[in-house]
Structure 1
Amino acid sequence: MSNVSGLFKDLTTIKKARNGRLASWDQRGKNQDYWEIPAGESITLGEIEGPGCITHIWMTSSCRRVKSPSILDPKLNASAAPVMEIHPALGVIWDDYDPFYYRKALIKITWDDQDTPSVLAPFGDFFCIGNCYPGNFSSLPFNVSLKPEEAGRYGAPCSVSCYFPMPFNKKAKIEIINENDIPFILYFNIDYEMYKEPLDENTAYFHASWHRENPCDGWGPDIQVNSPEVNNVTNLKGDGNYVVLDVEGTGHYVGCNLTVKHYQGSWWGEGNDMFFIDGEEYPSLNGTGTEDYFNHAWGMQRNAFPFFGTIVHEGDTDGFQVSYRFHITDPVRFEKHLKVTIEHGHANHLSDDWSSTAYWYQTLPTAQPIEILPVEERLPNVPKLPERKLTQPELTEEMKAARSSYEERWNVYKPAREEQFRIKEDKARRESRLNTEFAKKLRDDYK
């Protein structure tokens, strides 16, 4: 046995494994290296036969609704790289980006022969994109890379990565469920290892689930935070706390991301974290404040570190904060049951909008089916501009002709563009099958 220790000690040991990858690369040898995920459909990115372990997931995406007839040929432009969809040139193309598609799509991962997924979360929130509002950050298990000109936008395209190891003994199935009414573009690389020997029976499987309370059930949102009336209310058993995770089984909790939309205009983070392990009546792990749980103090700071930090700061938004805390070196272990909770304001007096993604490992089978809110209850609350009431002036003959020509061109352009979407959706369905077939060939060759 090696005496080498440290975070990267596995790099010093030769192991018997074979690498594989599921990817959206154009298997025709062309350069359409992305899939068009159809509206209202679930697409399997691939199935991998075990034993094995997913070691890295990288993705980038974009979602837009066609608003006008572009001056570019719809068929020729469909064969070009989709950069116009990321940076619509002024007057060349007009696509209206769906600001909330990060919550309209789900990521779903099922391990072995289970009939229930172990990972089920909104696509964006799984990768720490809270409220569909990406922010640049780098932690040990997750990172988001956002172009500067895309910052500060709901639904902004970016790249995302996950480095949590995800072992499986029999099979891994990764799906994207698009509950939107329009398709979206997805590039992806899912790297994994294959092993010849079965995994140890004590192997813990990766899990992730999303939760939201909108609003949290507060008893005094009209009473100022940190006022003596609030601070003298007791809460020893965590009654009414926001629940990050409530799970049965044997395993360990490894962290979460949390999005809080605050409405009082004061301070949202005065609530304590409380962990209830294996059915205890009183929490054995008690915190001192929400910002303290995320390893900040005196409010939230603008930083992003390997295990904790801010992704989006409330001072840079319309009043919401996205934070993360990963228990990589200090996992919270449980043998029968774990309940992770946080007060929404001291003694739960605030009525804010909270949402979170919890990450944990546990042995199979997954004891409780993971549930998800319907799409309409996942959408973020955002400010809305008042509706504009426009009146049209009297049109000249040239103006009438221009409008008529525009409508005629739209009637030709729109179905042509839609046809290209359908072609790319069929490509995604076809390459979904090819990904699974290719993964099986790799597996068969390595047995």
Structure 2
Amino acid sequence: MNNTLANLATLSTAKSKRLSSYDRTGGNSDRVGVEPGATHTLAAIEGAGQITHLWITIDCADPLYRRNLIFRCYWDGEENPSVESPIGDFFGNGWGMHYNFSTPPLACAPAGGKAHVCYFPMPFGRGARIEIENQSVEPIRSLYYYVDYEEWESCPDSLGRFHAWYNQELTAPESEQGNVENEWGLFGDAPKNASDANNYLFAEIEGTGHFVGVNYYVNCPSPMWYGEGDDMFLVDGEPWPGSAHGTGTEDYFNMAWCPREPFSHPSFGFGRVPGENGGDKLGWLGRTHCYRLHLTDPVRFTKSLRASIEHGHANVLTLELATVAYWYQSEPHKPFPALPSVEARKPRPEITAVDIHRWRDAWRKSVGGANPWGDERPSGV
């Protein structure tokens, strides 16, 4: 995985195969439909091999179908999925939205990000099953797909199984100061955090393997910078601060100085930022998609890995967070917590200019109904 071209010239006896939605009659109706509540199996493969490529596109009347359709993968006859995520979030589009997104292993490709593409290698020794469950109230009118894979005589013991886990949380201030959104020390001395207990959790893994990346979707309900929170990786049950402790959200995502501009690198970047080209005047208000892929610097573990990030320095901010973490590990894996319900996965609405004007009106009333400009501060602050 460190160099995808290094082994390209190596000859192999593997057999290349494909499963797809092609029209079995020889016609051009290369699609299937999936009713609400139903599950469609894209691939049910026996024996050993490796998924090498996925392409999926969908037509559904539900505007949030990308949050309401669940993508799952099972390896070697397991009962609990190794991959479970809303389909949009897995491939690299958050909040049920669609926008162009491009990395080496994952992409949401034109038109407008509606083509879901994956090149993560997914080996298996005793079979593979890939499914999409329709948890929407609307049918999938058209599901088109390719599942390209290799058929092997056996799977080497050295190959881990691919895993991906979706998590989400509406965070709240949980610092030593209580329910105070005291970022940048605006309301007194900045708090301290000598623990990962209240952090946002994006991976909790048991087994042997290596962590290879995360898509991080943050919706910030104020213009305040959301990215002071440190990333923390606790390896093999070690106590805080662990052997891989970071210095801030933008630092973990290889950015600097509170950025808000689109950027695309093979290993990191911003898939989406609020406002036109990030040049709005409302700071970091709204939906931002950050990604970090550890393709050349995987985080390795032999027993367990707990990966988390503060929501604001010392966990002082209310943020709507969602993530999909990606890793390889030996089986069996720790079963994932129950996926949040359809209603719970519904994204929080975006803050608008009308909301901000209401904030100003509330401020005017709080300072006596005079005619304040808006930068006034209570005495002592």
Q: Which bracket does the TM-score occupy, shorter chain normalised?
A: 0.7 to 0.9
- Does the 8 Å CA contact 2:217/2:322 hold for their aligned counterparts? yes
Counterpart pick for 2:247 among 288, 294, 298: 288
C-alpha displacement at 1:351, in angstroms? 1.2
The one-letter code of the counterpart of 1:34 is R
1:31 maps onto 2:21 in alignment:
no
Counterpart amino acid of residue 221 in structure 2: Y
Q: How does 1:291-306 map to 2 (within 5 A)?
A: 291-300=250-259, 301-306=261-266
Contact 1:104–1:122 (CA under 8 A) maintained in structure 2: yes
Matching residue of 1:337: 304
AA in 1 matched with 2:102: S
Maintained 8 Å contact 1:311/1:324:
yes
Structure 1 residue identity aligned to 2:313: H
| CA drift at 1:312 | 0.8
How far 1:217 sits from its partner (Å)? 5.0
Of 134, 144, 151, the match for 2:98 = 134
Kindly report which structure 2 residues correspond to 1:138-287, keeping only aligned pairs within 5 A, or say none: 138-147=102-111, 158-184=114-140, 185-196=142-153, 198-216=154-172, 218-219=174-175, 223-227=181-185, 232-282=190-240, 283-287=242-246
C-alpha distance in structure 1 between counterparts of 2:98 and 2:21, whole Å? 22
DSSP 3-state at the match of 1:121: strand
Match of 1:352?
A: 319
- Given that residues 181 and 318 in structure 2 are in contact (C-alpha distance below 8 angstroms), is that contact kept between their aligned partners in structure 1? no
Q: 1:23 to 1:230 in 2, by over 3 A?
A: farther
Check 1:221–1:20 CA distance in 2 against 1; reply closer, same or farther (3 A cut). Answer: farther
Distance 1:382 1:145, change over 3 A: same
Aligned to 1:307: 267
- Following superposition, the deviation at residue 146 of structure 1 comes to 3.2
The SS at the match of 2:314 is helix
Rounded Cα–Cα distance in structure 1 between residues aligned with 2:155 and 2:194: 41
- Verify the 8 A CA contact 2:235 2:301 in the aligned structure 1: yes
Deviation at 1:369, TM superposition (A): 3.8
1:118 to 2:48 alignment: no
Q: How far did residue 200 of structure 1 move?
A: 1.8
Query: Unaligned stretches of 5+ in structure 1?
Result: 65-97, 151-156, 387-447
Greater share of residues in strand: 2
Instruction: State the one-letter code of the partner of 2:346.
Output: L
**Matched residue, 1:45:** 42
Q: State how far apart, in whole Å, the 2-side matches of 1:217 and 1:128 are.
A: 28
Overall identity of the aligned pairs, in %: 39
Q: Give CA deviations for 1:197-233 in whole Å, capped at 9, x if unaligned.
A: x212232000001000023454567545212657632
Distance 2:168 2:252 in 1: 19
Aligned partners of 1:245 and 1:341 also within 8 Å: yes
Cα distance, 1:354 vs. partner? 0.4
Structure 1 stretches (4+) deviating beyond 2 angstroms? 215-225, 228-232, 314-318, 367-371, 383-386
Whether contact under 8 Å (1:105, 1:123) holds in the other structure is: yes
Cα displacement string for residues 27-55 of structure 1 (whole angstroms, at most 9, x for unaligned residues): 11111111111111111112011210000
Q: Deviations over 1:178-205 (max 9, x none)?
A: 0111111211111000112x21223200
Greater RCO, 1 or 2 (C-alpha within 8 Å, sep 6+): 1
Structure 1 length normalisation: TM-score? 0.72
- Between the aligned partners of 2:311 and 2:20, the Cα distance in structure 1 is 41
Amino acid aligned to 1:378? R
Question: How much is the aligned-residue C-alpha RMSD, in angstroms?
Answer: 2.1
Tell me the CA shift for residue 384 of structure 1. Answer: 9.1
8 Å Cα contact 2:172-2:179 kept in structure 1: no
SS at match of 1:12: coil
